[in-house]
Structure 1
Amino acid sequence: MKEDKDSKWFDVEFVPKDYIFPKEDQPRNIDSPVCDSIPVIDLSNSKADGHINPVESILTASQEIGFFQVINHGIPETIVNDAMNVLKEFFDMPSKKTHTTGWIYTSSTDYAKDGVHLWRENLKHPCHPIEDCIHLWPENPTRYQEVISAYLVEIQKLSSRILEMISEGLGLQSGYFKGMSEVQLLSSNLYPPCPDPSLTLGILPHQDPSLITLLYQSDSTGLQVMKDGQWVNVGAIPNAFVVNIGNQLEIISNGKLKSIKHRVVNNTHETRISIATFVNPSPDCIIEPAKVLVNELEPSQYTAKQYKEFVQCNKAFGDYTVALQNALKN
């Protein structure tokens, strides 16, 4: 699709052919009800308040659904709003220079499968350690690096807190995830309005190859999770973060916690912007079930493997990981 300098690629009356997915991949239930069974967990609660301990709530959600939302999480609203605003500025720029490493994906370069494009624009870059990779981030808008750095510092604190709560819930020793869980990747997405969302997808169904993923979606919907064999919409709650269990945490928990499929569908009228941050082990980290969770009655369900071996089996993520390692060496 040719883009005119005065118009956006998505300013069209009909979905172009190379954005139309095969019928078997097209979303059939875009208007499915919001899933009210995805828990919303108040991290300010404690047993002393007479509420359910958030540790118990997080563990239950991670075992049964693999998704939950957190509120009263401690990240200042101003920091989150600044991050969303600077990303809006980035996606609104008429010309986005693609880094030599190719981490900015426009509609013409964002392939899903068999030559079909995703209906989105995507910005991906490494995050850890910030001082070593900040030079790979966009230089425009000029405040991007400062704003996103502040955001990531807060995300690291929150992710460490959530993993410590999961560790407690599983019966692992305190600090089990310390040193093996860093916010290593940021993936921001713009999903513009689509003439016919039933033909397109923002992101294909997938599981995350992370420990956990934290997603901020503001007040925009579009995220769907697979629950009981059906795609259901995840509601958008103001100033909440969606947290989902990744494949690595499912392995470490020996299958007690669930990494489930999710996708993003498009909307006819609304624009969706989201920020996903992936909390991953280091590439050389050995991922295997925690020894205290393995016994004669519950033998290990997974083979020990380095994290980099795991992601290399995931082509899209593996290609990115190789590019990331090469870039950080330069």
Structure 2
Amino acid sequence: MMENLVSNWFDGGILPDSYVLPPEKRPGKLIFPVAKMIPVIDFENHDRRSTIHQILEACQDYGLFQVVNHGVPRDLMDETMNVMKKFHEMPTKDKASECSKDPERSCRFYTSSENYTSEKVHYWRDAVIHHCDPLDDYMQFWPENPTAYREVVGQFTIAVRKLASLILDLIGEGLGFNPGHFGGEYSKKPMLLVNHYPPCPDPSLTLGLAKHCDPSVITIILQGDVPGLQVFYDEEWFVVEPLAHAFVVNLGYILQIMSNGKLKGAVHRVVTSSTVARTTASLFIYPSEDSVIEPQTALVNASNPPLYRAFLYKHFSTKYISATADAKTVEQFILKTSTDDHDGHGDVDDNLDLTK
């Protein structure tokens, strides 16, 4: 698989057929409107109620917003982006070697997706992903080269996890949950994904990432200064504008379910460029494998029956991966049906046939 890395196509040429998407999934045009409607929330605003209101409004409308003055040092953000770019600039064999220290594959390097061998069409990206908690257990398996990677990315992960906790506390307060509701099992498994999208021979025919919603509670994204992230809103694609030292925050399926649909998971994708490379860092906040995911009691009553059924996160994760994030398949799995219980707190199905 390593010989198929898209970074090996830096020298131009034509787009390989294996990356050409079906016509209905291609970006087609190369110019898209900028999402000026996406809120940019200033965390130096000391009016907590106003901040919560802005976040909830953004999550209801778009499932996505940006934050500035968020407390993560700007120098650390710059150093993180630099070391991640340096990692992806290394020779292929070195990148693969740096991400193969753990036989359990807690740190791994791949191209397109982790379903590369079975997917019908590939996507224009290379990626490294690794576990982040506890740091002392996992950092030993992170890349040692570039030499600053572990120190810088470790500090960055700690800072962004703190930001994620703050954001989840604000969302929880806005939804009427008890303090600390999203702590513990609902933010137990953070993972850092570093995506790299080299220049592409024909951005109109392929994508860096397909249309999807994340399988996380929330995702915090450092997208640098090169556009590429797009959000789907009102049946149209919009560019999420890169802002200096801002983070993009997007909601995943899990928070959509827990809020009983009050908040929405962001539907997004990544387009490529023919002239510049793009590197991004995304911290995914996942629940523990055995967490029960369901609409929360505070948001369910006779007037607002549960829209989603209860399930274990590990079952959802398996389904999401096997369905390659296909929205229709995932929704069939999570939506409550007439055959489910009607009190909103039914038994979790431990024996689901995930091959269906």
The Cα RMSD (Å) is 2.4
Gaps of 5+ in 2: 325-356
> Structure 1 residues 208 and 272, CA, compared in 2 at 3 Å: closer, same or farther?
same
Partners of 2:54 and 2:323 in 1: CA distance? 31
Q: Which letter does structure 2 place at the counterpart of 1:57? A: Q
Cross-structure match for 1:62: 59
Cross-structure match for 2:138: 133
Assess if the C-alpha contact under 8 Å between 1:156 and 1:183 holds in 2.
no
Cross-structure match for 1:309: 315
Aligned-residue offset at 1:317: 9.3
Assess if the C-alpha contact under 8 Å between 1:203 and 1:263 holds in 2.
yes
Partners of 1:112 and 1:198 in 2: CA distance? 24
- Identical aligned pairs, as a percentage? 44
2:212 to 206, 229, 232: 206
Cross-structure match for 1:97: 96
> Structure 1 residues 44 and 20, CA, compared in 2 at 3 Å: closer, same or farther?
same
1:16 aligns with 2:22: no
Aligned-residue offset at 1:115: 3.6
Assess if the C-alpha contact under 8 Å between 1:156 and 1:182 holds in 2.
no
SS in 2 for 1:53: helix
Q: Which letter does structure 2 place at the counterpart of 1:232? A: F
- TM-score, length of structure 2 as denominator length: 0.82
SS in 2 for 1:132: helix
Partners of 1:183 and 1:220 in 2: CA distance? 29
Moved more, 288-297 or 177-186: 177-186
Aligned-residue offset at 1:108: 10
Assess if the C-alpha contact under 8 Å between 2:230 and 2:238 holds in 1.
yes
Cross-structure match for 2:166: 161
Partners of 1:113 and 1:258 in 2: CA distance? 30
Moved more, 63-72 or 297-306: 297-306
Cross-structure match for 2:350: none
Partners of 1:280 and 1:212 in 2: CA distance? 8
> Structure 1 residues 137 and 2, CA, compared in 2 at 3 Å: closer, same or farther?
closer
Aligned-residue offset at 1:249: 0.4
Q: Which letter does structure 2 place at the counterpart of 1:34? A: V
Deviations 1:92-149 (A, max 9, x none): 1113225253820146987397442211111111111111122221222122111111
1:293 aligns with 2:290: no
Cross-structure match for 1:321: none
Moved more, 21-30 or 93-102: 93-102
Partners of 2:182 and 2:206 in 1: CA distance? 38
> Structure 1 residues 47 and 91, CA, compared in 2 at 3 Å: closer, same or farther?
same
What aligned pairs does 1:1-330 form with structure 2 within 5 A after superposition?
8-47=8-47, 53-95=50-92, 96-98=95-97, 99=100, 101=105, 103-106=108-111, 111=116, 114-179=119-184, 180-182=186-188, 184-315=190-321
Moved more, 126-135 or 262-271: 126-135
Q: Which letter does structure 1 place at the counterpart of 2:182? A: F
Partners of 1:169 and 1:2 in 2: CA distance? 46
- Count of residue pairs brought into register by the alignment: 313
Partners of 1:266 and 1:317 in 2: CA distance? 24
Partners of 1:67 and 1:172 in 2: CA distance? 21
Deviations 1:276-298 (A, max 9, x none): 11011111111111111110000
Aligned-residue offset at 1:17: 1.7
Aligned-residue offset at 1:269: 1.1
